[in-house]
Structures are given as C-alpha cells and as structure tokens.
Structure 1
Amino acid sequence: MPNEKRTVLIAAGLSSFLTPFMGSALNVAIPAIGRQMHATAVTISWVISAYLLISAVFLLPFGRLADMLGRKRVFLMGVALFGLSSLLCAVSPSITILIASRAIQGIAGAMVFGTAVSLITSAIPPGERGKALGINTATVYVGLSVGPVVGGFLTQTLSWRAIFVIVAVLAGVTWLYAQRI
C-alpha cells in the first residue's frame, strides 16, 4: 500500500480507535467519578449520555460540512477538539463542567466519526477498499475491547482523569499523523 493510502488508513484507524476506547474505558470509571464528584446516579449518567446525544445530533451535519469544506479540514478540527475536550474533562473541577466537556467531546466525536470513513473511501481505490474498511472496523473493536481493561487499570492505579489524559495524548498523535494526509 503506497504511503498516502497508508497514512489515511492509519490516521482514520487511530481516530476510529479513540472514540470507542474512550466510551468503554469511561464506563468502568463511572463509579469512581460519581464518588469523587459526589454525583447522584442520574447526574453521573449524563457523563455518558451527553456525549452520545450530542454526537448523534451532529453526525450528519458534520458529514455534510465535510463535503462542503473538505474532509481533511473537518477531520483535523474534530481530532484537535477531541483532544482539547479530553483535557477539559481531565481537569474538570465539577460534575457540571465534566458533563459540558463531554458534550463538547461529542461534537468532536461527530466531526471525526463522520469523516474518517469518507477519508478512507476517497483515498483507497475500490479494489482495496474492502480491506481498508475492514482494518478500520477492526480498530473500532480493538478500542471497545481494550478500553475496559485500560480504563480499569488507570482508574485503580492513578485516577479516572488519567483516561482523559491518555485519550488527549492519542488524539495529539492522531492529529500530527493526519497532517500528512
């Protein structure tokens, strides 16, 4: 696979890993977040729900925006915002700010998830597309699979905040890599 195609696949794969990793790692940390933030079960559920609702609302509009402004531009903005919102989550002093930061992360997730596959399909020829999309889909499931293990380990040994720091670092690496597209 030539460099340009490989670069697109790696950048898209990294981003496709991040969002499910974040979600599955965070699910394990929810009890610790609730204890530290003194949040009720209903309130703490918004840490997950805010992200899911906002990303669902913005997924299609960002897909259309990517068609108008360029997939790479929207993808890069989304990855950058995902990393920055992860840092905001990591330093959130209250449950309200954490939920708001997760909502921002949902916007970023929609930007990334709505453009990653279209970057692959526009860069990879039809004869190789099935393999590329299969690899990308595999990264989603790797993120879902390792998230609870890594999230549990980080929550137990460091803090739930470490999950967000790790995600921010991975988003930074993804952003730097995606610059080469």
Structure 2
Amino acid sequence: MPTPDTAERRTVLIIATLAAFLTPFMGSAVNIALPSIAADFSLDAVSLSLVASSYLLATAIFLVPLGRCADICGRKLVFTIGVVVFTASALLSALATSGLMLILFRFLEGVGSAMIYGTGIAMITSVFPPEERGRALGINVTAVYIGLSIGPLLGGFLTEFLTWRSIFLTNIPLGIYIVF
C-alpha cells in the first residue's frame, strides 16, 4: 500500500498531467474548426484569427502574473480556479451566439489556461524529490505533446461528424474530473 506521500505525489501528478493535456489539446483542436466557425458566424479573416489568437494572447499576458499570484495565494487554489475558469469558458464558448462572444470566451479560456500552466509544473516540482522529479516532469510534458498531437485529429473528427461546438464540450467532463 502506498504511503501518504506517495499517494499525494501520484494524485498531484495525475491532476497536473490531465490539465497539461487539456490546454494544448484545446489550442490545437480549435484551429482545425476555424473554417466551420467562420461559416457559422460569417467571420472575416481578421476576426477568425482572433478566435485562435485571443486564447494565446491571454495566456501570454497572464502567465507570469498569475504564477506569482499562485506563489502568494497558494498553487492549489490558483490551479483549481484556473481549471474552473477554463472549463466554464469552454462551455460558454460552445454556447456562443456570435463571433465576438466566442472571441471573449476564448480570451477567458486563455486566462484559465495561464493559471493552469503557471501552477501545474510548480506543483509537481514541489511534491517530488529531486531524484524523482525528472520522471514526473517527463510524464507531464508527454501529456502536453499528446494533447497537441491528438487535438487536430479529434478536432477534425468532431467538427466533421458533430459540430465545432463539440470540441469545447469534450473538455467539460475532464475539467470537472480534475476539480473533484
């Protein structure tokens, strides 16, 4: 039976790794759906580019400040809020009725993503001893690249056979699982 320390480390690794999968998956899957999104909302090229770039812009703007906030307020708190914001904004993105709403919800999703990015690795580093840290970080980084790789495939499949909105809805069960 694992000791509490081992169980805690395993839990942190699983939660941080699932979240590490979720954020790049969303970024890469949505790019495949952009033509369908443009058709639904009659978006021009500039507005359509904001659907993808608003997410990245928000992540870049808020990553360092929210990472510092996590150092002050607690990593677990900021991580949990980040997953809630990310998941809620994914739902709102799926329910968007205009291009502007989608862009704003994607920006909000990027803020949640910054909270996740800024805390996940720090949480892993804080619970794993130096001799186990490399393996744990390797597992986490692997999840990032799996998310980036599967995103276009699954995003294309969901867009083709369901709708682009289903891409956002796929994140909700995983986000809820991570929080609880």
Equivalent residue letter for 2:16: A
Q: 2:169 aligned with 1:154, yes or no?
A: no
Shift of 1:59: 0.2
Structure 1, residues 104-141: CA drift from partner, whole Å, max 9, x if none? 01110100100000000001111100000000000000
In structure 2, what is the Cα distance between the partners aligned to 1:96 and 1:46? 9
Distance 2:177 2:15 in 1: 9
2:6 is the counterpart of 1:25: no
Task: Return the match for 1:58 from 59, 62, 74.
Answer: 62
The alpha carbon displacement at 1:173 in A equals 1.3
Corresponding residue of 1:140: 144
2:114 is paired with a residue of what secondary structure? helix
> Secondary structure at 2:97's aligned position in 1?
coil
Runs of 4+ off more than 2 Å: none
Equivalent residues, number: 176
Q: Amino acid of the residue matched to residue 131 of structure 2?
A: G
User: Identity rate of aligned residues, in percent?
Assistant: 51
- The Cα of 1:145 is off from its aligned counterpart by 0.7
CA distance in 2, matches of 1:23, 1:4: 29
Residue of structure 2 equivalent to 1:163: 167
Pairwise CA RMSD: 0.8
Q: Could you tell me how far apart the structure 1 residues matched to 2:79 and 2:58 are? A: 17
**5+ residue gaps, structure 2:** none
Gaps of 5+ in 1: 177-181
Q: Give the equivalent residue in structure 2 for 1:179.
A: none
TM-score, scaled to structure 2:
0.96
1: CA distance between counterparts of 2:150 and 2:123?
A: 25
Give the TM-score, by structure 1 length: 0.96
1:89 matched to 2:100: no
**CA deviation map 1:134-173 (0-9, x unaligned):** 0000000000111111100100111000000001221111
CA distance in structure 2 between the aligned counterparts of 1:39 and 1:138, rounded to whole angstroms: 35
